[in-house]
Chains A and B, each alone.
Chain A
Amino acid sequence: MMENGFNRRDFLKVLGWGGTAVALSGCGNTSVEDGRETVNSYVEAADYVIPGIGVYFNSTCAQCDAGCSIMGKVREGRVLKLEGNPDSAINRGKTCGLGQAGVQHHYNPDRVREPLQRKGEIGVTITWEKAYELIAEKLKDVSGEEIAFLSGGVSGHLKVLLDNYLASFGCRNHFVYEALAPAVVRAANKKSYGVEMPRYNINKAKVVLSFGADFLGAWVSPVHFSQQYAQFRKGVDGERGVLIQIEPKMTLTGANADRWIPVRPGTEGVLALGIINALGTAGGDIAALVKDYDKVRVSKETGVPPGHIDKIAALLKLRSPSLVLAGSAAEGYAHGSQNAAAINLLNHVLGNVGKTVEAAAEVPFPQMAPARGNTAALKALNDGLAAGKYKVLFNYAANPIFTAPGGMKFKDNWAKADFKVVFAHYMDETALQADLVLPLDSALEDWGTHVPEYMADGAQINIQQPLMERLHANTRGMGDILLALIKQRRPEDYKSYEDYYGYLRAAMLQNKAALGGGGMDDDTFWSETLSKGIVKLAGAATTAVHSKAGATDLTLPAATQDAQYPLQLIPAVNVSLRDGRHANLPWLQESPDPLTTIVWDSWVEIHPKKALEMDITEGDIIEVTSRTGSVKAQAYLFPGIHPDAISIPLGQGHEALGRYAKGYGVNPFQILDAVFDKETGELAMHETRVKISKTGQRVIVVKDESAAGAKQIRKKIAGRMSTDNVDLSKEV
């Protein structure tokens, strides 16, 4: 947001290209680096820079893949705070706690600052020239088939550059890995609706029936969905939306539901078919499919009382359109695809497809579209490594040694590659096992273009630009590194691009007309693009959603019993820490878990009934053992969980990463069995069965919890009214 009109040509100067970098770095003789920037010479400052007043620059949040647009408040050469950009259709000026903490990645004291080469057990500082030479040397004698590149989700021009780099030596082994991606749901959506990620109109639904989709917490695009949710609660035509959440462990979304229904883990699909049966409106194939799923059977298998199934069906009939969501709790099984398909079928039966499930806008540049990460990619890489197929391995934006399920033995297989290059922000578990560590710029120092996986209203390309000068002299942007590497292979093609910024600018200008810049001169278009931070694409092509239900041959196994491992382990996704990459941000460590209010630690959620049976009290250290391994953590008695399940949050239990992460809590990834969804080959995150035992030790749980009951000193603290007793129609 550029509130003050300013000379747009100066914009480039500010960011260090085309002139001096005075405006951002303060005095010409000192720099941010040496910490003496408090004495500022503003002799050459840009005319919009006033000492003491923050200037906002637009960029894109890199904390998760949702692609929220942010504005960074920059003052005296430092970025101080991130706010949401109101012009983005995704986040409309809002941010989540995770996004707020982006500045702590940037200023983190534990960032890697120099390229490091392994010499025995230690990393020796080397120069970038040396590092590039080393890579060229290692790649000289290997074929493209012997090289593998593991990355997190990438999109935009970085993906283009990466694809071109890999193609330059004939490598087709790009493994895109995200530990917590909704990959099974994507595949099921593709079958049900014809698109992997449709647009969900929560704000247009009168009832949302969510099977474990934590859309307010950590699912797909939580800030966007939170705003839709607020509209949904205000109501369509004055009728307040009703949220029903079905899941074995209460998520943040579940805690906000009008009705939270605990279901026996893994039987979500059965319940979905039971609801279709109870609706009684389906005909043909679908009626035949659900005819055996009567209330009695469904209730027995899922543990949901028949009365609840009737109520849900009655409400769905009464209030239309509704929206049914399949989330991570439903997809994490060997029959996850079947579960998701059964749940998606409900949308067809209820006639929601085309109303609350719509085709999403697409960016008309397929080569920039996001490479969507999944866990099947990790398995493929792991199998290849185990077979000794890869000699050189690159790793970017992933920490597989931390997030791979223990059952995969990924760390052992990783060691089989001769030369491992890790592009890293921190010395995390994976970087520690590298032969070469290349330090990256923070997201607030780097350039980039991003195409979000989940598109809100229209298609958009997000721009990422530096909000301040490099904090550390020897870090580099990923784009710059890739450009340097590709110049080793194809110097002629890339020689005209001095750096990634130059490449990006040229690439954007080349498509100026298609990006809405037709008729503008290059400089105007470019500074316009940077100052907005978003390129909105008008009239982007869309693929229509299927209005007819897809295949209806579903096989849903009944829940199994296992006498040796009687409990289902639910690895919970924490709103802030996600797959663990944010564990070194102190604000997030000290931000209480939304449901248990526990800070700085892991815990085992167990239903009070089960705890009573096993004589477990809060704070008892529990050993949780699966077929793959065991962890020990404090018990927390939590009524929002199915008594046949326990839950441990993901993200903690680091052995490296940094001072705020190392040594706190346990890592449940380590005890996950390597079980996969039969259709997609995705890791079945919820299929691990465990047994628990008391260790005899006990601790005081560190948490922020208030007393039970919404009253104190017999006065109302947190009020709650029933819809019968409230008049919402006249509210502001």
Chain B
Amino acid sequence: MSTLAELAFSRQDYAYAFLDAFAKRELRRKILKAIAIPGYQVPYASREVPMARGWGTGGLQVTLALVGPKDTVKVIDQGDDDSVNAANLRRFIARMAGVKTTTDALEASLIQSRHRIPEEILRPDQILVLQVPVPEPLSWVEPSYTRARELHADAEYGLAWLGIYEDLVRYRSNTHGADYPVLVNGRYLMAPSPIPRWDTPKLHLAQHLTLLSAGREKRLYAVPPHTEVRPLEFSDVPFAVEDQRGWADAQTGVQNKFMTEIPLEGGQSRYQLSDSDYARKAALRLEIGATYYDDQGTFYIPGFLAERKASVAPSHAEQSLGTD
């Protein structure tokens, strides 16, 4: 419907935030359904955008459907604002939506991320958009999305439990790395995207809204605030986050935040904070917000994570070198 104000608006090469009104409305309708059915993968049309599929096109489409001129946007990849793909997405969002950008997790109204959740506790008014490569948490046991959809319909997650059980029998250890499957609101099994296990508990009863979107597979899903998100675990073999005890950031000496291991010649390693803006604040001794894990590595919701066993981590943990 045309109004005078609309007709008088000067013609632009691209629509605001790149996507046309139809694409945005479709995404918005699907986002509302995703929020109403926590953890359920809502199919959506997923337009091609000027990035290759698999490079954050799903997250980008959700961001573009949400964003307005008053937003402040942060984009990270592996925790790093300066990673080339994060920089590329940020540049595109800023160019198409005219938003302010930031690296500070607490300054952002909207955070698009690949594979990490920031260390500082997100506020209730913040939105986290996670890029998802493989939205189907059952894909490691059931490659057909059509059959997996039937399993979700029946809440039939025996195959996923069996997969973990078989791991335990074979290796006496849970071999899941990142993207650890979680049960949302007691109903839907969900792939939290390839965040490390360190970040998985941050979704449980979070204050903020998390939207997850896979552009290539054309599925988006949500974890509303204050929603139960529990990793699949056996009571006698509890879920465990990565064991990085003893690892210290080479630059700041910070411990008990998620670290990236950087190999050195001679088989040794040094460690670096994965959350690059947390590292920046720590290095400059700026004020840091409350964090999900305290300086001793204790998670902020008491009792949610099982008491950690004594480190079985091999000797490499002591090889942290305090040099750059």
The answer on A and B forming one complex is no
